[in-house]
């Protein structure tokens, strides 16, 4: 079974064992739905929103070719923040959270390996995203090729959005049920 981020369209059935017992619509009402889960989901929402801001900002710029300097500053600010926070988030998951969570239910070990693999795949997508943003910023500085660079960056944000959402959705569907069922002591304050 191919679990790669580039080809996966949903969480495989073999990894849905806890999600079937703890479907999304029941999460917030569960006794173990606490600050850690809320924080995690909020971080994921922030990543989705930042990428959407970049995509929508690029669409608006392509529509009216407004102030390129302002567009460049906003793209650089939001893009850098998103990439830095994603990198830190994934590092924390790989080194701290995943090792604790995989010990809770051995049936999900392959899922955590998949998520770790996603992080490595996302590193490549993040590098491509940064390259696209840098090409856009260079076109803004040069004052030429701006429409083409903005169009290429728009395509990059759309592709990145698909990969990021697939990863975040699968991560949520794997991790939140583990936290709801087992409420690991390592995460309680």
Note whether residue 30 is domain-resident: yes
Closest residue by Cα to residue 171 from 41, 32, 52: 41
Note whether residue 99 is domain-resident: yes
Give the model's pLDDT for residue 183.
85
Q: What is the domain-level CATH number for residue 78?
A: 1.20.120.520
Note whether residue 165 is domain-resident: yes
All residues at 6 or more sequence positions from 113 whose CB lies less than 8 Å from its CB, including other chains: none
Model confidence, pTM: 0.92
Task: Report the distance separating Cα 55 and Cα 168, nearest Å.
Answer: 18
Closest residue by Cα to residue 102 from 8, 15, 34: 15
Note whether residue 154 is domain-resident: yes
Task: Kindly report the number of other CB atoms within 10 A of residue 17's CB atom.
Answer: 15
Note whether residue 7 is domain-resident: no
Note whether residue 4 is domain-resident: no
Give the model's pLDDT for residue 87.
94
Note whether residue 173 is domain-resident: yes
Q: What is the mean pLDDT of each run of 10 residues along the chain (189 residues)?
A: 85 91 96 93 97 96 91 96 96 92 91 93 93 95 94 95 95 95 76
The count of domains in the chain is 1
Give the model's pLDDT for residue 147.
93
Give the model's pLDDT for residue 189.
52
Helices (H) and strands (E) in the chain, counts: 6, 0
Note whether residue 153 is domain-resident: yes
| CB-based contact 8:170 (threshold 8 Å) | yes
- State the residue range of the domain holding 132: 13-187
């Amino acid at each position: 079974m191919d679990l790669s981020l580039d080809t996966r369209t949903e969480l495989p059935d073999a990894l849905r064992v806890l999600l079937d017992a703890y479907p999304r619509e029941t999460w917030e009402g569960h006794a173990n739905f606490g600050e850690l889960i809320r924080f995690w989901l909020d971080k994921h929402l922030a990543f989705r929103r930042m990428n959407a801001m970049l995509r929508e900002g690029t669409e608006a710029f392509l529509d009216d070719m407004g102030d390129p300097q302002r567009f460049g500053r906003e793209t650089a600010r939001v893009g850098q923040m998103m990439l830095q926070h994603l990198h830190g988030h994934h590092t924390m998951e790989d080194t701290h959270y995943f090792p604790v969570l995989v010990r809770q239910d051995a049936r999900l070990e392959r899922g955590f390996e998949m998520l770790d693999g996603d992080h490595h795949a996302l590193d490549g997508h993040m590098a491509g995203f940064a390259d696209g943003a840098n090409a856009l910023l260079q076109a803004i500085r040069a004052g030429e090729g701006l429409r083409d660079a903005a169009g290429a960056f728009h395509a990059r944000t759309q592709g990145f959005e698909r990969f990021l959402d697939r990863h975040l959705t699968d991560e949520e569907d794997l991790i939140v049920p583990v936290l709801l069922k087992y409420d690991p002591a390592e995460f309680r304050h």
